[in-house]
Structure formats: structure tokens, C-alpha cells
Amino acid sequence: MSTKQKRFILPEDEIPKFWYNIQADMKNKPMPPLNPKTKDPLKPEDLYPLFAKELCHQELDMENAWIEIPETVREYYKYWRSTPLVRAYGLEKALGTPAHIYFKNESVSPIGSHKLNSAIAQAYYCKEEGVSNITTETGAGQWGAALSYAAKVFGLEAAVYQVKISYNQKPYRRSIMQTFGAQVTPSPSMSTRAGKDILTKTPNHQGSLGTAISEAIELARTTPNCKYTLGSVLSHVTLHQTIIGLEAEKQMEMAGEYPDIVIGCFGGGSNFGGICFPFMRHTIKEGRPTRFIAAEPSSCPKLTRGKFEYDYADEAGYTPLLPMYTLGHNFAPANIHAGGLRFHGAGVIVSQLLKDGLMEAMDLPQLETFECGCLFAQSEGIIPAPESCHAIAAAVREAKKCIETGEEKVILFNLSGHGLIDMASYDQYFAGNLVNHELKDEDIEKNLDEIRNLQ
């Protein structure tokens, strides 16, 4: 055995004290979100009814590159941070690649994914501002689980709308939310007008994140002292997730390397931005030639096949209009097992960065992601979340290219979560019941036609 170091961990006092706001450093700022009625650019105050005030300001902050992490939030981060940066020697050997593969292991958080980085922060700001109830939507249940725990930490009541297909596919995530004291409702439900409308049109609707967002927003609007929270897409969520990349930057230094390629799976962009933006700042400011790859499902390909348009983040059209790569808010993604990636749009920051060529996107078919997930489990001992399997599959593709070229590229990906509560999905894969969902151009065009000229 060699004495090569496997895991890199920061001591507690080296956990970053600031989040990184890439908006301050972007040459082309994201276009402004628009008020859906007046079409005027949104001001932070316009968002006050929905979100904690501090979060509204973080959302639209184009000036401050560094935002201090409140001390209380840092205290709770210590419950699982820093997360390990791991050199994937096992995966490298299994592939026979000369590439150096590293992953940042966000699966070690109490709820098993990166989502808690933002949940703790959002619940903290709500508590600070005297809020008593928070509500949200969840797909696979990762965000719902994170928010339920964060609500409990700060003594808030949490109500979670869970996408119906995930509610049924992943019963244990529901139990986890309930363990933390949250009230969980499958969405679409008859408890909101948005839910009723959808179920009247499509009684068998299996739900989507867009639908569940509409329901949670409606609850927040109609309940006193209740705020809405979102687990991805928005810029303040991605801001909180930059703790991942900021730690990774220090840890890569400990390893004596700097990544040539940084990869994150892509739902709304928060874990991707979280790991990439701290490295991308060196690309923007110093011209470092790093590639940033967003790994998305072929069945929900907003970055590779969507269009850059103003669109709503939810199915009912309650949210502001966001300038983003989108498949159209009426796009109903196939029932793939990576529930956290079944969202029609991308955050405004990543959308602008893609438009400006600072990042790239790769779409991956479901079967390839599970195949790579199993290879990763067998070679590194960690069963990845189906979402994270997309990042692994993208890393594997790049590592295989290095076999051909002989290059020792340094590849870093984010392991956004573990899959121990997703074993029903693995069962379906082993039983041969999973397929690759082919999307026809005309189906994508149909949804995009409906959103042209919304702004």
C-alpha cells in the first residue's frame, strides 16, 4: 500500500466564514426577474411577502462578493462540516484512467445531501424575522427532509408538499420529514386552488416540482406569519451552497492540485453552482481555463435542449418571470428516479453563465447514470443518490476520454447525496424496469411555444 492521502478534511476553525456571491463578479449580470403583472424588474421589497427579507436582498445583490455566514448558522454547519474531499482511487482503478478524480462528499450531512447548507440558513433568517411557519415543496424528499430538520432546529412549524410520484416511490423520506415533526402532503392535492385546478384537468397527475411549488406558495400567501422557502433555482440558495466549493478549494490545495474539470448534477443549479462558483471566480478574474460541466437527465434537458426565455418557476404561474433556460413551465418530466432533477428550468445565474459560455452542459440517459452509480458504489463504498449518479456518469465520461489521450486531468465532482433511501430505485434498475426516456423535438417545441412572449 502506498501512503497516498485518501480524504482531506478541514479543521473546524478553517470552515469558511463567508459565502461567495458570484453575481458581484459576473461581467454580464443576470437579467432581472420581472413582476408577472406589471412586467417591471423586481426589487427586493417585492419578494418580502414570500421570503425572509434578508434572503430577498441576497437574491438580488449584484455588489457584495462575500456575504458573512451568521455565527449561529456556522455553529450548526459544524454538526457535519467540513465535508470530506475524497480522492477516488477506487474509481480511478476500476476505470483504468490516468485522470485524478476527486469528489466532495456532501452525503455526510444529517439528512444525507447538500440541501441542509441552505435549509439551515433559510430557517435561521425566518426565525430572526419573527416568522413562525415555513412551507415548501419537495421532489425526492431531500429538500423537504432538510427543511424539516432545519425548522425543528429553530422551533418553526414546517408544512411540506411532496411531489406525488416521489411520495409513493420514496416513503422513507416522508417518514424522515415526519420524524422531524413536519406535516407532509402529496402534491397535487385538493388542499389548494392550484392543486385542485391541476387535478380537475388531469386526475391522475403524478406531480412535478413546478406543481408543488404552486401549492406551497399558495399556502404561504394564505397563512399568517408563514414564509415560503425554496431548495434550489434561486440565487440565494446557490449562494448558501458555495460553502461546498469554498471548502473544496482549500481541500484541493491540501491535495496539491487544482481541478481542470468541475462537475455537478443539475436540478435547478444549486449544488452545481455551490461546487463550481468558487473555482469559476478564478476563471472570471484570472482566466484560469477550468471547464464546468452541468450533468442533467436526458429526459429533462433544459440546458442542452431548452431555450433561454422569461418563464415561470412553477406550473400555475405564481412566481416572478425568470430569465432562464427552460423547457416551459408546462413541461411534465418523465417519471425518472432522480426526482431532484425533474424541474423544467435553471436558475438565472447559471442560465446567464451558460449563455456566456462560462460553463457547459451534458445530458445523460437514466441507464448510464445507474450503471455508473453502481460502479462508484462498488469501487468507493458509497451508494450515490440517483441525482448524484448524473455527476458520476459525467465524470466517468471525462475520465474515459483521458484513457484515450493519456492525460492526467484533475476531475472534481460533487457527490450531492447518498442513495440509501433510494434503494427502491436501484431495485427497479436491477429488475430491468428502467428505460431511457427519448424526448421528441416537437414535444419540447410545443411547451416552448406556450411561453414565448411572456415578458
Ligand X SMILES: *Cc1c(COP(=O)(O)O)cnc(C)c1O
Please give the Cα distance from 370 to 430 (Å, whole number).
Answer: 9
Q: Which residue number, 113 or 208, has a Cβ lying nearer to ligand X?
A: 113
Identified binder of ligand X from the candidate list 101, 417, 426, 429, rule CB under 6 A: 417
122 binds ligand X (CB under 6 A): no
Q: Stretches 218-226, 260-268, 392-400, 424-432: which one binds ligand X (CB under 6 A)?
A: 260-268
169 binds ligand X (CB under 6 A): no
267 binds ligand X (CB under 6 A): yes
Of residues 80-119, which lie at the interface with ligand X (CB under 6 A)? 113, 115
- Tell the smallest beta-carbon distance from residue 19 to ligand X (Å): 15
> How many CA within 13 A on the CB side of residue 202?
13
268 binds ligand X (CB under 6 A): yes
What does the per-residue mask of binding to ligand X show for 313-342, with x meaning CB under 6 A? Answer: ---------------------------xx-
Q: Which residue number, 187 or 232, has a Cβ lying nearer to ligand X?
A: 232
Identified binder of ligand X from the candidate list 385, 392, 395, 396, rule CB under 6 A: 385
Q: Which residue number, 209 or 444, has a Cβ lying nearer to ligand X?
A: 209
Q: Which residue number, 255 or 353, has a Cβ lying nearer to ligand X?
A: 353
Q: How many CB atoms lie within 10 A of CB 162?
A: 29
Q: Stretches 155-163, 268-276, 277-285, 368-376: which one binds ligand X (CB under 6 A)?
A: 268-276
Of residues 182-201, which lie at the interface with ligand X (CB under 6 A)? none
Q: How many CB atoms lie within 10 A of CB 39?
A: 11
Tell me the number of residues near ligand X by CB under 6 A.
Answer: 20
> How many CA within 13 A on the CB side of residue 165?
19
Contact partners, residue 253, CB within 8 Å, separation at least 6: none
Identified binder of ligand X from the candidate list 20, 102, 149, 272, rule CB under 6 A: 272
- Tell the smallest beta-carbon distance from residue 107 to ligand X (Å): 8
- Tell the smallest beta-carbon distance from residue 359 to ligand X (Å): 13
Chain-centre distance for alpha carbon 424: 22
> What one-letter code names the amino acid at 198?
I
Please give the Cα distance from 143 to 114 (Å, whole number).
Answer: 9
Identified binder of ligand X from the candidate list 118, 271, 299, 447, rule CB under 6 A: 271
C-alpha grid cell for residue 108? 455526510
Q: Stretches 19-27, 40-48, 382-390, 401-409: which one binds ligand X (CB under 6 A)?
A: 382-390
416 binds ligand X (CB under 6 A): yes
What does the per-residue mask of binding to ligand X show for 340-359, with x meaning CB under 6 A? Answer: xx------------------
If phi over 0 gives left and psi between -120 and 50 gives alpha, with beta otherwise, what is residue 184? Answer: beta
Q: Which residue number, 214 or 238, has a Cβ lying nearer to ligand X?
A: 238
* Residues β-bridged to residue 152: none
Please give the Cα distance from 265 to 140 (Å, whole number).
Answer: 15
270 binds ligand X (CB under 6 A): yes
Please give the Cα distance from 206 to 166 (Å, whole number).
Answer: 9
Please give the Cα distance from 430 to 1 (Å, whole number).
Answer: 34
Identified binder of ligand X from the candidate list 207, 269, 323, 365, rule CB under 6 A: 269
H or E element, residue 109 = none
Q: Is the peptide bond before 82 cis (omega within 30 degrees of 0)?
A: yes
145 binds ligand X (CB under 6 A): no
Please give the Cα distance from 227 to 50 (Å, whole number).
Answer: 5
Q: Is the peptide bond before 188 cis (omega within 30 degrees of 0)?
A: yes
What does the per-residue mask of binding to ligand X show for 204-243, with x meaning CB under 6 A? Answer: ----------------------------x-----------
- Tell the smallest beta-carbon distance from residue 137 to ligand X (Å): 11
306 binds ligand X (CB under 6 A): no
Q: Which residue number, 306 or 340, has a Cβ lying nearer to ligand X?
A: 340
Candidates 349, 363, 316, 124; CA nearest to 235 is: 349
278 binds ligand X (CB under 6 A): no
SS3 letters across 380-438? HCCCECHHHHHHHHHHHHHHHHHHHHCCCCEEEEEECEECCCCHHHHHHHHCCCCCCCC
Residues of the shown chain interacting with ligand X in the complex, contacts defined by CB under 6 A: 113, 115, 142-143, 232, 265-272, 340-341, 385, 387-388, 416-417
